[in-house]
Structure 1
Amino acid sequence: MAHFTTPVLIVGAGPIGLALAGDLGFRGQSCILIDKGDGGVYQPKMDMVGIRTMEYCRRWGIVDLVEGAGYNREYTQDCAWVTSLNGHEFGREEFPAPKDEKSPPQSPQHRERCPQNFFDPVLRRFAEQFSGVQIVYHTELVNFSESEEGLLATVRNVKTGEMRTIAANYMVGSDGGASTVRQQLDIKMAGEPVLTYTTNVVFRCEGLERLHNKKPAYRYIFIGSEGTWATLVAINGRDQWRFSLVGDVTMQTLTEADMRKAIVRAVGRDFDFEILSMLPWVRRQLVAESYGSRRVFLAGDAAHLTSPTGGFGMNTGIQDAVNLSWKLAACLEGWGGRKLLESYEIEQRPVAIRNVEESTGNLKRMLNPRVTEPPKELFDPTPDGEKARKAFGDAYTELMKREWFSIGIHLGYVYEGSPIIVPEGTPRPEDTVQTYSQTARPGSRAPHVWLEENVSTLDLFGKEFVLLRFGTDAPAGTGLAAAANERKVPFKVVSVSSAEAAALYERALVLVRPDGQCAWRSDSEPEDPLQVIDIVRGASPDGASVQDAA
């Protein structure tokens, strides 16, 4: 067997594994990323890159790549609910095309439509720019053993059968819902194992918009006498569509003929189309009971499985990757304390629970017409039918707004009770969905303020701890800087003259972590700067650190 050594072995090269590999490379760390596939995406599982993920893309310098990845950015993003594309429309929520969408006041970015078959190649290009990042396809994890010193993983080339051993300091399983890493750690998933059985079909049809009488939309929801039964999504904004036949908790085996019949029903007429792929899958609401062991961690779908309603799954996984990456780097560099990697689960698991529960709520709202059976006159071409459709459509439109407007989910997560956050005793902000008020309270995402044209406060964060000073009378921060230097923690002090930023951050000094979360704030220097630095780097009270670098 050949032997390889790497600081971090990542299993699974979907968007989470690629983002983790890229962020480690961004931090100067080497890693090996393996995947048993060939790197192709034949059934894109996600298509919305959330606003927080786009902020990370801004940090990584790949926003232009995401915007130019292939989705038609001139295609409208409306969501509409209909009987069929040639039937009745109950209502719609109008959204601009991606090229016309404006960033909200709380962020320098906005969400972007970029399906996985476009987004994965962007992340791969980002990761591969770093010489220390190796991506190896056609390679699966067979087993691994963990010790105090590190771990040994046996992997196999699925094409040749060749076996080899990889020695690593740490391993991350981003290998999906059926995660081999999670199974070998014997970690259970808690929640609802089946919400619905659903079958997806990606099909190609040039000019589908010309075959019906509805305004174009990114997403159509189909409601019949049985309630909500299917959705149709513009996968590339041109000629590819993803049709989802939403079942219930009863497993069904559907043929291509079944799916063709359902697609014709949804469009409301016969037409020619080419089926590119077909995938039955199960909607779940599950979160891992543990996020790993001392040296092995779970991220993305390996740690949490959610209904796609809301677009939180992949974006929660990207948060996993960014949260974990700087902590792995810190421990590899020797300044990360014993509690640093322990804090990954403490911080991210509650976020996952919150997000998967919200996704299930969105699903239930979408499927609400199944519960409150639609009145029969909804489908009658009569004045009474029109009146019933108006009342039903208005109510459904209002019901669905919680899914369409969810900035609080993407930006409002708080690492409450984290051992590496210095609490200040103020009450936790209300956890909202449709609104979001920026705060620099420790544990929260550091607020965005424009400092000058195209320069955000968020552009100050990424590779080190940043101590922000607000106002000419603010303390210099020399005590914290000296303490960080003593503990070899990457650290810089930045003076900010913006009155708007000072008002939003609320204190003269605010310490922001490498991932962009606020860790401490005060109007004065701490009495014991070393204690603050030791807390935020995850050190035990005696200041001991983990020396894990090979």
Structure 2
Amino acid sequence: MPDVEVPVLIIGGGLTGLAAALFLRQNGVDCLLVERNTTTSQLLRSTHVSPRTMELFRTVGVQQAVWDTAEKVVRGEYWARTDLPPHHLPRAILRADSLAHVVNEDVIVMEQGVNQFDDVGPVEPVWCGQDRVEPIMLREAVARGARAEFNTEMLWFEQDADGVTAAIRDRATGAERTVRARYMIAADGAGGRIRTGLGIARSGEGTVGHVLNVLFKADLDAILGGRRFLILYLTNRTAPGMLFKLDDERWIFGLFCGPEDIEEGRISHAECADLIRTATGVPDLSIDVHMTMGWWMAHEVVDRYRSGRVFLAGDACHVMPPTGGFGANAGVQDANNIAWKLAAVINGWAGEALLDTYEAERRPVGKETADQAWMRHIQWSNPKEAAKYDQRDQTTITMGYRYASRAVAGEAFTEALPEELDIDGRPGMRVPHVWLERDGERVSSVDLAGDAYALLAGPEGAAWTRAARREAERSGMPLRAYAVGPAMDLDDPGGAFPEAAGIGPSGAVLVRPDGFVAWRAEEAAEDPGTALAKVLDAVTGRAVTATS
């Protein structure tokens, strides 16, 4: 008999694993998270929290905590202003020979974005290191009932037709236990053993560079004279690298180096400080180096996101250059996608076929996002190469990705990333953002799912809401129904929702727990109960008895 039985075992306690625990508990599923390190991340690579990730954080109640601790991202063209409020960073990616060149505005602006998402989503992106985000996620996951065991490693696992058995060991005491789970999420990173143990290959451009991250304190603000940026590429040939700010006191310098230099202890803290002085062009800079971490940049995506009852997520299934800040956010979105689907199956209101749609949806997004990160890496490393590649807009990559699978009832998209941002309510897209009112409080249309499907009907769509409520009662699936219009379940003060969602007054959209449109009826149906039951049967992979 196993020592522990749990519906879902999560291996890895970084951003992706913690997100999986959060979203599983949001949907009422017990889980055990195992992480070999003693605590959450102390030195980081991920700092950009995209608006889409913030939307997901919003559904589990951690958006405000992240917002409160983060640096705010503002319009990129303000990078040279010296009067920006504290804790505001412009979305500007710069390239310069030294800090003096930045002060003199002798820079190449690699990318700067408007990055104002008021008309796209309910929340802005932020700049917040994972050393601050992860504890917030962990606290909320545990508060919701997740079990998280740090300083614990998985020794081996095996799966059969009914589940996964794994052995775990407490690294402090050496005590070993066996865990039996119905499913396992592999969030053990790019170097994790689960993917290789399953024989899943990766393909792509391969390793594109090595970086030694140096976390340090220094008074660079005094040198920069108020000028700010998200990332500065410093092009000193002796010490090339990238520089970015974490908070009031801390900075990270990412030294571009050879593979041998990322080994722990290979470059001393004193040598790191000298390299930073060389890179910044400030030979007498006072520097307090806290820690270092080496890592490799690569462009690779796994051939499969699933093997039986094991699902890969985050860096375990896609690695990409940090250019664009897409990688960690993609991991959180992987976790959200598989978590609600596992919950649907475990809670009994969806069929096993729903789990096949995880790979069908997330792998195309992962590959095309990794491609965009790689293109940006080439551009930012060599600006003359930029014109060779089909780069998509940052907002489009972040907010406009689309799904095509059996969990979507509509015409399939041929690309996961569109050429231009156009969130118009079609099935497979994230539901359009419209500010509505519920009980006198403002709420976004994006907020209405999370732990359930949501049917949003136009002001003349009462037949759809009645059908949805009957179906929820009959089947037991989490399905909420809202009439949107004056004096209805959700007030639409500007009358904008039907047009934004692409429906008429009597139409409706069905929104999945992850906020994506599963199905759309532009107008009323002759038999809405039967029509809705048939759709739910298809998109959840279960048999549904039609109702009227």
**TM-score clears 0.5:** yes
Give the alignment partner of residue 300 of structure 1, picking from 309, 314, 319. Answer: 314
CA contact (8 A) 1:445 1:518 kept: yes
Q: Contact conserved, 1:71 with 1:118, CA < 8 A, in 2?
A: no
Could you tell me the TM-score, scaled by structure 2's length?
0.85
Q: Which residue of 2 aligns with 1:265?
A: 278
Match of residue 381 from structure 1: none
* One-letter code aligned to 2:289: I
Give the direction of change, closer, same or farther, for the CA distance of 1:461–1:284 in structure 2 (3 Å limit): same
Q: Following the alignment from structure 1 to structure 2, what is the Cα–Cα distance between the partners of residues 96 and 240?
A: 24
2:520 is matched with: 521
Q: Distance in 1 between matches of 2:478 and 2:133?
A: 31
Q: Name the structure 2 match of 1:104.
A: 118
Please tell me the residue identity of whatever aligns with 1:536.
V
Shift of 1:191: 1.3
Is 1:190 paired with 2:203? yes
Change over 3 Å in CA distance of 1:221–1:440 after alignment to 2: same
Q: Give the deviation of 1:426 after TM superposition.
A: 8.1
- Distance (whole Å) between structure 2 residues aligned to residue 334 and residue 59 of structure 1: 22
1:91-120 CA-to-partner distances (Å, cap 9, x unmatched) read 4489799xxx85431111110111101110
Whole-angstrom distance in 2 between the partners of 1:464 and 1:302: 28
CA contact (8 A) 2:262 2:294 kept: no
Quote the residue 1:385 is aligned against. Answer: none
Q: Deviations for 1:400-427, whole angstroms, at most 9, x for unmatched residues?
A: 9968x511111111112x012111x487
> Do 1:287 and 1:305's aligned partners in 2 also have CA atoms closer than 8 Å?
yes
Structure 2 counterparts to residues 61-72 of structure 1, below 5 A: 61-69=61-69, 71=71
Aligned to 1:235: 246
Deviations 1:134-168 (A, max 9, x none): 11011111111212222211001112211101111
How far apart in 1 are the matches of 2:412 and 2:336?
26
- Asked if the contact 1:71–1:115 (Cα under 8 Å) also holds between the matched residues in 2, the reply is no
Shift in Å, 1:538? 1.8
Distance (Å, rounded) in 1 between the aligned partners of 2:52 and 2:375: 21
Specify which of 389, 411, 415 is matched with residue 403 of structure 2: 415
1:463 equivalent to 2:473? Answer no
CA apart distance, 1:482: 3.9
Mean Cα displacement is larger for which, 477-486 or 156-165? Answer: 477-486
One-letter code of the match for 1:51? Answer: P
Residues 198-241 of structure 1: per-residue CA shift (max 9 Å, x gap): 22211111x22223567233321123579x931100022x2211
Letter in 1 for 2:327: G
Equivalent in 529, 534, 544 of residue 531 of structure 1: 534
Partner of 2:185: 172
Residues 504 and 75 of structure 1, relative CA distance in 2, 3 Å threshold: closer
More off after superposition, 189-198 vs 281-290: 189-198
Shift of 1:292: 2.0
Q: Give the structure 1 partner of residue 296 of structure 2.
A: 282
| 2:154 paired residue among 113, 135, 141 | 141
Going from structure 1 to structure 2, the CA distance change for 1:156 and 1:429 (only over 3 Å counts) comes to: closer
Quote the residue 2:353 is aligned against. 339
More deviation, 52-61/272-281 = 272-281
- Shift of residue 197 of structure 1? 1.7
Among 469, 472, 478, the alignment partner of 2:460 is: 472
Structure 2 runs not aligned, ≥5 long = 73-85, 486-491
Code of the aligned partner of 2:131: N
Give the AA of the match of 2:256.
Answer: V
Coordinate RMSD, CA, aligned: 3.0
Secondary structure of 1:29's partner? coil
CA distance in 2, matches of 1:536, 1:3: 36
Corresponding position: 1:218 with 2:205:
no
How far 1:261 moved relative to its partner? 3.2
Percent identity of equivalent pairs: 29
Matched residue type, 2:538: I
Note if contact 2:152-2:170 (Cα within 8 Å) is conserved in structure 1: yes
- Alignment partner, residue 498 of structure 2: 502
Report the TM-score when normalising by structure 1.
0.85
Change (3 A) 1:214 1:462: closer
Are the aligned partners of 1:195 and 1:249 in contact in 2 as well (CA < 8 Å)? no
CA contact (8 A) 2:2 2:178 kept: yes
Unaligned runs of 5+ in 1: 373-395, 545-550
Aligned pair 1:454/2:467, yes or no?
no
Q: Any residues of structure 2 matched to 1:296-335 within 5 Å, and which?
A: 296-335=310-349
Asked if the contact 1:141–1:180 (Cα under 8 Å) also holds between the matched residues in 2, the reply is: no
Partners of 2:59 and 2:447 within 8 A in 1: yes
Partner amino acid, structure 2, of 1:470: G
CA distance in structure 1 between the partners assigned to 2:38 and 2:255 by the alignment = 28
2:214 equivalent in structure 1: 201
Amino acid at match of 1:532: V
* 2:206–2:298 contact (8 Å) kept in structure 1: yes
Which residue does the alignment assign to 1:42? Answer: 42
Q: Is the 8 A contact 1:484 1:530 kept in 2?
A: no
Do 2:402 and 2:416's aligned partners in 1 also have CA atoms closer than 8 Å?
no
How many angstroms apart in 1 are the aligned matches of 2:517 and 2:216?
45
